[in-house]
Amino acid sequence: MSLALRAALLTVLALSAFAANSILARIALRDGAMDPLAFTALRIASGALMLAILLKLRRRPFTGDWPSAVALVAYAAAFSVAYRSIPAGAGALLLFGAVQVTMIGTGLAQGDRPPRQEWGGVLISFSGLLLFVSPGLLPGLGRPPLAGSLLMLAAGIAWAVYSLRGRRKSDRQNDPLAATAGNFLRGLPLAVLPWLVFGGAQWNSLGVACALASGALASGLGYAVWYTVLPQLTALRASLVQLAVPVLVAAIGIVFLGEPASLRLLAGAALILGGLALATLYRPAAR
């Protein structure tokens, strides 16, 4: 198998795992079938166990840090609570849109001076997010619940913070899998304590199975595969291929979960993904 084909297959596998997180969470949590804090605790626990096994096999030590663990658990908790009410495709669209817009916006705030085309792409994406969650725009066209939308935006911001911290540490810590494993391990008590204090008693076998699969397979193995293929992708391609995840989740949600393909979803997706593609794809002409 050629290196290019192997990279392509691993990329597809990693993106499928990312999409599976949204589908599994929605199956387990919709209509209050399972307590979201319990889902979060089980997801973090099973992810930590899987990553610990992978590190043991590779004979690598845990790394990571507490601030990153807090960001990780904040993402996972907001993600779970949001999926009690928000459809899978809408959630993935808001999540990945918020991640990309936050990361690009952080670069702008830190002094990046992109060309006008990149500015335009960010503004287009931000307008898509506003269109998607604002009750006053396109009334009656399938707006997802406002509370769930805001929670998913918060999850995206927390994940962006986690990713930005990892990027800043990359020069000193070149083992992202070890860092992720350490952050999952530190995040375990941070996820279990809120569940014990504030969580409910909604349990069912399907929800538990989804939480374990989300943590061990879609998160643990998914991140391991992603970090394996990531060095073979440019930053541009890494950003672009992730734009496929919300589309994949929306398609699965519509076909298998019976979720509606609303005009607001289609319009928001076109603006968010189109703007991000414009901001990411543009490169100034060589002089």
Per the domain annotation, does 186 fall within a domain?
A: yes
According to the model, what pLDDT value does residue 171 have? 45
Is residue 190 very low, low, confident or very high in pLDDT (cuts 50, 70, 90)? very high
Is there a domain that residue 68 lies in? yes
Q: Is the pLDDT of residue 286 over 50?
A: no
Residue 99 CA: distances (Å) to CA of 161, 184, 197, 242: 9, 19, 29, 11
**Separation between Cα atoms, residue 191 and residue 72, nearest integer Å:** 10
Q: How far apart are CA 64 and CA 182, in angstroms?
A: 5
CA dihedral 52, 67, 69, 242 (to 10 degrees): -100
Within a domain: 287: no
What confidence tier does 125 reach under pLDDT thresholds 50, 70, 90?
confident
- The answer to whether residue 141 scores a pLDDT higher than 80 is no
* 68 against 170, higher pLDDT: 68
Contact assessment for residue 246 and residue 96, using Cβ atoms and an 8 Å cutoff: yes
Q: Is residue 286 part of a domain?
A: no
Q: Give the chain's domain count.
A: 1
Looking at every residue in the chain, the average pLDDT score rounds to 83
Burial class (CB in 10 A: 0-12, 13-18, 19+), 111: exposed
Of residues 93 and 117, more confidence is placed in 93
Whether 203 shows a pLDDT value over 70: the answer reads yes
Largest Cα separation within the chain, whole Å, is 64
Residue 283 has pLDDT above 70, yes or no: no
Q: Is residue 143 part of a domain?
A: yes
- Summarised one tens digit per residue, pLDDT across range 233-253 is 665 566 667 777 888 888 888
Per-residue pLDDT of 13-24, as tens digits, reads 988 999 999 999
End-to-end CA distance of the chain: 39
What interhelical angle do 244-256 and 263-281 show, nearest 10? 160
Using one digit for the tens of pLDDT, what is the confidence trace for 60-113?
888 889 999 999 999 999 999 999 999 898 898 889 888 877 887 787 777 766
- Asked whether residue 172 carries a pLDDT value surpassing 70, the answer given is no
Residue 285: is its pLDDT beyond 50?
Answer: no
Q: Domain containing 114: what range?
A: 3-281
